[in-house]
Structure 1
Amino acid sequence: MYETYSISDVIQADVRFQPLKEKLAGYVRGSDEYLAELLNELPLNSYPTYKTYLKKQAVPVNKIVNDGNNTIDKDSHYSDVFRNSLSPEKLVTCVDQKLSTGYEHFMFSARRWPENDCLGNRIYDPITSTWSEQYHFETYKQIAERAHAFGSGIMSLVNVKRNKPLKSNDFILAILAHNMPEWVITDLACQSYSITNTALYETLGPKTSEYIMNLTESPVLVFAKSNMYNVLSILPDLEYVNTLICMEDLNESELKSINESLLTKNFNKLNEKISLFSMKQVEQIGKLNSIPLIPPTPETTYTISFTSGTTGLPKGVVLTHQAITSSNAFVLSSMKVPNSKKNKQLYDMCFLPLTHIFQRQTTSYALSMGVGSGFLHKPDPLVLVEDLKILKPDFLSMVPRILTRFESGIKTTLSKSAIQKNIASNIIENKAARFSSHGGTDRSLLNFLLYHRVLIDKIRDSLGLTNGSFIVTGSAPIAKETLLFLRSALDIGIRQGYGLTESFAGICLAEPHERDIGSCGAVGISTECRLKDVPEMSYYAKKDLKGELQLRGPQVFSHYFKSPDETQAAIDKDGWFSTGDVGFIDSKGRIHIIDRVKNFFKLAHGEYIAPEKIENAYLSSCPYIAQLFIFGDPLQTYLVGVVSLEYEGTQNALSRLHPEVLSLSEEKLFDKINNDPILKKDLLLIINRCTEGLQGFEKLHNMMVGTDLLNVENGTVTPTLKIKRIVATKYFRKDLDLLYQQGSLIRVEKL
């Protein structure tokens, strides 16, 4: 654990924040009034001016030794240590000492905004078989009451069965569900009683769930009704479960039928009886037998988040409440709420899976700011835009695949009319030129009186982004062209971040309106970073500021659950966690992820290939490539690949040379590309011209194309879309061999 050091402490210690210090001077530090004013005046990067911060976002802080001729680091295999320029002296663990846990953040919001919308969804009407045309929310006060009641009920049921005191919280609760308000209520119930939780992947199948449940010895599983079959199927193999809780309502008849007929395994390994309850039942039990709250401390383990892993079984990342508050401090120090929206009800769409730490970080921020979180009316990404149009969120977190679909959809819509296309192209090109040359928000009259009225507001409305202030994207690289296009077409800040499960998601976040886009931003105030040499890949930390990115700080995990060997392999004796990602730090202190350690192989002519570097280069430069798996046979001298493409973008790119493709459906287009060497060659040349900085031997010479070829169902990627190279190679082996049999389509062409 790190010594407590808050944003409040930074403000008191650093003369740069004197204006903010003076604004807070009239309040008792730590009081709700003080905290409200502090949150209202953040972010820190506004002091002394935002432009000052943009010039130097992170700075080297380690001690330097001078040998008389050269200034050298104590260890030449590492770069300097970088910290955020807002707090270079010490790493920040929380916003304020009174907000030292995730639970305290939520309860502060419940006190400050008791009637604010907290969690909401659309209601289904079984009579008309329709969903409501508006979101129905429960308030922060109501959610706090439900979370306390549910937590009390869980404690009562689990401990009676374990024959332990009712206040015993020495167990781990498991969650198996898609995103829904009850997911967050369960999480808050755990925080209320200092219960550690873990989330199971709906997409990874029963064996992974069984492994996690037995490893954690979890006695209670809270699940969505849609997972009832999966839960009952693996129940005979779950050794420690004694309590099953369905998030949705079950009537007495349904509960009786399942408990008496379907729970074929009546007792667990410890001879404890297994029973099923509905969430509403458990809440009622909690109200009748109200167990005193057990608030967490910074040291309390908040969650064990299992990485989906590219090889082998998932690893459990142990994250404390200090990790939550460090994360919140980082986000609040750099996330600006527009002045026009301060102290107003804001909304966020809880879209990315809560199983993954990225969405939990976003939701934690939302709960700390009184934001209302909406949920999709059914767990299907295809209804996202429909629900966005109703909720009209102020911000949301996305992944590149969704943003590239937004881009394709906008371009397709605009291309239906020649006049509309010309007008839109002129506006978007003018906006893009302005952002590329100046940066910053566009406050011109031309923008608001013409561009918005003629085009931008219509595009925003069509996607449900009417009220959008910014979008955060992460988990994979995104094309600079996509970032610039969407920023111009939507006139909205898009912030690319970087993080891992081991760092409670994002530890850096690009500024929303920078002129030179493409970075992941500077390391935040709660983490420090450095680069380590990767000589076998020709990356040298001290010389070029390129190397494996290492992290340390209160936002970074301390160990893997029950895996000392894995922990030792990942964290060195000085506490540095090796991410496995190769980064570059630019002159402003911003991080760029450029490669992945160890994923490299040699082709027949002796050249080393780093596939993730190449994949990232294509993904970040070609907007209509959604996924890419690069493969090189060591007996061959060129690369082939499996490429998932966006239909509209690919169709438009090819139509300039082959107008006939405009009449082809998605399935027929990709089938024709795969079977027509001329068409495939022309597409390859278009794609290869997009990339910059790649050598000829690093470019694709043949490929198989389609839609969503790499997916969780066939096991070729993890739920966070990381490629499982061994599995993918085996799965696509026949296709890859066929590509090599066909040979290089572009061998004679200059790349």
Structure 2
Amino acid sequence: MRPGSGVYLSLGRAAAQYTQYKFYKFYNFYRLYSTYMYETHSLSDLIHTDPRFKQLKERLGGYARGSDEYLAQLINELPLTSYPDYKAYLKRQSVPLPKGSASGNDSSSHSDIFRNVLSPGNLVTCIDQCLATGYDHFMFSVRQYGSNDCLGERVYDPETKQWAPTYSFQTYSEVAERAHALGSGIMSLVNVKRNRPLRSNDFKVAIMAHNCPQWILTDVACQAYSLTNTALYETLGPRTSEYIMNLTEAPVLVFAKCNLYNILSILPDLEHVNTLVCMEDLTQHELDTINTHLLTRTFNKNNERISMFTMKHVEEVGRLNNIPVIPPTPETVYTISFTSGTTGMPKGVVLTHQNITASNAFVLSTMKIPEAKRGKQLYDLCFLPLTHIFQRQTTSYTLSMGVAAGFLHKPDPLVLVEDLKILKPDFLSMVPRILTRFEAGIKTSLAQSAVQSTIASSIIGSKAARFASHGGTDRSLLNSMLYHRVLIDKIKDSLGLTNNSVIVTGSAPISHDTLLFLRSALDIGIRQGYGLTESFAGMCLAEPHERDIGSCGAVGISTECRLRDVPEMSYFARRDLKGELQLRGPQIFSEYYKNPDETSKVLDSDGWFSTGDVGFIDKKGRIHIIDRVKNFFKLAHGEYIAPEKIENAYLSSCPYISQIFVFGDPLKTFLVGVMSIDPDAVRSFLGERRPELGAMSPADLVATINADAALRREFLLLINRGIEGLQGFEKVHNMVVGLDLLSVDNDTVTPTLKIKRLVATKHFRTELDALYAQGSLIRTEKL
């Protein structure tokens, strides 16, 4: 059922779909669909009915509503935050719904329901009824920007053993043609083996690969044929991949060649696979060798033959068969995105095409393209893992508007700056860990010359003071004629950020000092967002040049939120506007795959998703994440400790540390910590007091700090004095330092950098016991 009838989902449509989606059998049918129905309310509906957007409506008046020309102009005129008055929006970004209204909340244990001030009357489900699915968005770009660059990479020359010095791109039209051929080929090969009609699309497609153009090709191919895909985490080990493959019963696995060994090692335990597709080219001899000698298990549990192909072979099969596309509908399941949980096996978050379109509507409503860049070819670096929903949201946004996505020439973060210098992207999505390294690199480079350091400190200090007092874009002549020419442009060029307009950061808190420094040194907007896999990544995003930094911005136009009391942690929603954040709307998921028990724990009968994160809503209507529900314990003196709140406070206030794990023994009266340090920043600071430390290698620096209690105490006092908002018993009293101590490799964090507390406690047990045996380093100091 296509949009336009006023409702995306209907009970009759749902009944027809019930047999197709086996996982729905676990749920009460009426509850599932009556809870998650959302009337079609597009961004274009909002513009045409709300008098506040009269000016924007007039600008679109010369185009037939729903036409490609209309959609292109609409996207070009966004963001919606610019209308009618951006300054007014900054002062009040979300509003509570009236008490007693149909949508309002009167519960004493919950706050009011908040919606974005741009659309308080309705939650937006899509940009326009003509863009009702992710596939609609991509095909719009194909029609409108067919000759634009789409997917690009640096090509490797096996003869010279060198990577090309420039990016080579496939156009949108070429990507569409290849994706349709790939989808047709996958449908042909899988269904012949299953003895099913060639147009049967009742199976899942699994992907195991680092970021590359073939990943996006596979994703678009799945969308074109309404195939649900799921991504396997290369970092979580073979057992997790086996679990996901068997749970989803995926018959096809599309993978990068570097994962061949891992796949063959678990193949005997994969019950449903019949088709393996290697993304890279292989010679016929290599392919025959694999199929003849390495595929030791030749049939799966369904007695279907297992065989391997290259992606190009599958595309050739697809072109021969040329199965007509099967466009998705809003309720079609787009992906099952498995969360990297802190305990047990990951949960599969079921996300539909309506979740994509709601997400795109939110991002487009708040992201601004500079006027000088409108209508030009723009570039984005697809850097964060596509296994995570954050990057998929970013990529969905860029592919909706003809932007090109480039990829690292090899899956190694160490080549990031090298590729940034070549691609010079206009957009960038990052995580705080990378941005703190940018900060450290800039500071180290500037410190090499005393004169340069003095000039840089003066300029950056002046910029920081301006941002802290005024906010907004700095359009002064002093900035453009002096600061940029003397310093800022050189810094941007050195990092490959020459053309960059905005950086979005998420997945973890970022230090206020880092935000302010990078905004000042790069003179670009850095926007912190918040979201989860269950909300199709970001559902709020801070404005780029706000004076009072630190929030995650207001809830977006496709989601509503409220706060719930957490009395055991002394958070009260109505009294203080602090509590567990709950979300509802067309951007929010509806279930965990084949897991009704876990679904019922976080989704109530009214559709509210309990995030597990504690937040507060400020006077401007912006969300701040301050804690995590259930991550608390008592110390011996009876005080409750919320470790995640404490860790966030340290990371937000201290540029010398990049990771921290706070631990408290319930029989002790103080906290200890495991900290990963930024060696360049720490050397710079401690070297002023102890010059011999300035020349040490990172490993020697770490060993010296850990061995020297007096030095460690001095460092700890520095850190603690810069922390705001914590009481003395909430501060760390002893610590061990290191480099990247918390990692996916040692299983102490998830791929999205959430700490696995039980695992981390066990992993660092020796160090933690030693810290308590040594005692508090700062007990006599006033904190």
The verdict on a shared fold, with TM-score over 0.5 as the criterion, is: yes
- Indicate which of 371, 377, 398 corresponds to 2:403: 371
Q: Residue 31 of structure 2 corresponds to which residue in structure 1?
A: none
- TM-score, normalised on structure 2? 0.95
Whether 2:355 is the aligned partner of 1:323: answer yes
- Indicate which of 482, 488, 495 corresponds to 1:450: 482
Whether 2:575 is the aligned partner of 1:539: answer no
**SS of corresponding position for 1:436:** helix
Whether 2:309 is the aligned partner of 1:277: answer yes
Q: Residue 8 of structure 1 corresponds to which residue in structure 2?
A: 44
C-alpha distance in 2 between matches for 1:514 and 1:74: 32
Aligned-pair identity (%)? 74
1:223-242 → structure 2 map (5 Å cutoff): 223-242=255-274
1:195-206 → structure 2 map (5 Å cutoff): 195-206=227-238
Q: Residue 599 of structure 1 corresponds to which residue in structure 2?
A: 631
How far did 1:593 drift? 0.2
- Indicate which of 713, 722, 731 corresponds to 2:754: 722
How far did 1:62 drift? 4.0
Q: Residue 569 of structure 1 corresponds to which residue in structure 2?
A: 601
C-alpha distance in 2 between matches for 1:23 and 1:466: 32
Q: Is the 2:93–2:620 Cα contact (8 Å) retained in structure 1?
A: yes
Deviations 1:373-427 (A, max 9, x none): 0000000000000000000000110000000000000000000000000000000
Q: Is the 2:183–2:221 Cα contact (8 Å) retained in structure 1?
A: yes
How far did 1:651 drift? 1.3
Q: Residue 152 of structure 1 corresponds to which residue in structure 2?
A: 184
**Aligned residue identity for 1:18:** K
Q: Residue 166 of structure 2 corresponds to which residue in structure 1?
A: 134
Q: Residue 95 of structure 1 corresponds to which residue in structure 2?
A: 127
C-alpha distance in 2 between matches for 1:621 and 1:64: 41
Q: Is the 2:106–2:112 Cα contact (8 Å) retained in structure 1?
A: no
Whether 2:226 is the aligned partner of 1:194: answer yes
- Indicate which of 559, 568, 579 corresponds to 2:611: 579
Q: Is the 1:404–1:624 Cα contact (8 Å) retained in structure 2?
A: no
1:349-428 → structure 2 map (5 Å cutoff): 349-428=381-460
C-alpha distance in 2 between matches for 1:16 and 1:654: 56
C-alpha distance in 2 between matches for 1:424 and 1:414: 7
C-alpha distance in 2 between matches for 1:655 and 1:611: 31
Q: Is the 1:549–1:583 Cα contact (8 Å) retained in structure 2?
A: yes
- Indicate which of 587, 592, 606 corresponds to 1:560: 592
How far did 1:26 drift? 1.5
4+ residue segments displaced more than 3 Å: none
C-alpha distance in 2 between matches for 1:668 and 1:245: 46
Q: Is the 2:615–2:624 Cα contact (8 Å) retained in structure 1?
A: yes
How far did 1:640 drift? 0.3
**Aligned residue identity for 1:441:** T
How far did 1:658 drift? 2.1
C-alpha distance in 1 between matches for 2:85 and 2:313: 53
**Aligned residue identity for 1:92:** V
Q: Residue 153 of structure 2 corresponds to which residue in structure 1?
A: 121
Deviations 1:201-227 (A, max 9, x none): 000000000000000000000000000
How far did 1:690 drift? 1.4
How far did 1:13 drift? 1.2
Aligned length: 745
C-alpha distance in 1 between matches for 2:416 and 2:349: 30
- Indicate which of 290, 297, 302 corresponds to 2:334: 302
Deviations 1:597-624 (A, max 9, x none): 0000000111110000000000111122
C-alpha distance in 1 between matches for 2:391 and 2:335: 14
Q: Residue 50 of structure 1 corresponds to which residue in structure 2?
A: 86
- Indicate which of 231, 237, 261 corresponds to 2:293: 261
**Aligned residue identity for 2:541:** L
How far did 1:64 drift? 4.3
C-alpha distance in 2 between matches for 1:625 and 1:618: 8
- Indicate which of 625, 636, 643 corresponds to 1:611: 643
C-alpha distance in 1 between matches for 2:42 and 2:87: 24
**Aligned residue identity for 1:9:** D
**Aligned residue identity for 2:90:** L
C-alpha distance in 2 between matches for 1:151 and 1:235: 23
C-alpha distance in 2 between matches for 1:73 and 1:191: 38
C-alpha distance in 1 between matches for 2:282 and 2:356: 34
Deviations 1:424-453 (A, max 9, x none): 000000000111111110001110100000
Q: Residue 632 of structure 1 corresponds to which residue in structure 2?
A: 664
Q: Is the 2:208–2:259 Cα contact (8 Å) retained in structure 1?
A: yes
- Indicate which of 378, 382, 392 corresponds to 1:346: 378
Q: Residue 641 of structure 1 corresponds to which residue in structure 2?
A: 673
**SS of corresponding position for 2:689:** coil
How far did 1:652 drift? 1.5
C-alpha distance in 2 between matches for 1:5 and 1:192: 24
Q: Is the 1:703–1:739 Cα contact (8 Å) retained in structure 2?
A: yes
Instruction: Name structure 1 gaps, 5 residues minimum.
Output: 66-71
C-alpha distance in 2 between matches for 1:268 and 1:448: 65
C-alpha distance in 2 between matches for 1:712 and 1:73: 41
**Aligned residue identity for 1:232:** L
Q: Residue 36 of structure 1 corresponds to which residue in structure 2?
A: 72
- Indicate which of 14, 19, 24 corresponds to 2:60: 24
Deviations 1:91-130 (A, max 9, x none): 0000000001000000000111111000000010111111
- Indicate which of 156, 177, 195 corresponds to 1:163: 195
How far did 1:138 drift? 0.3
Q: Residue 69 of structure 1 corresponds to which residue in structure 2?
A: none
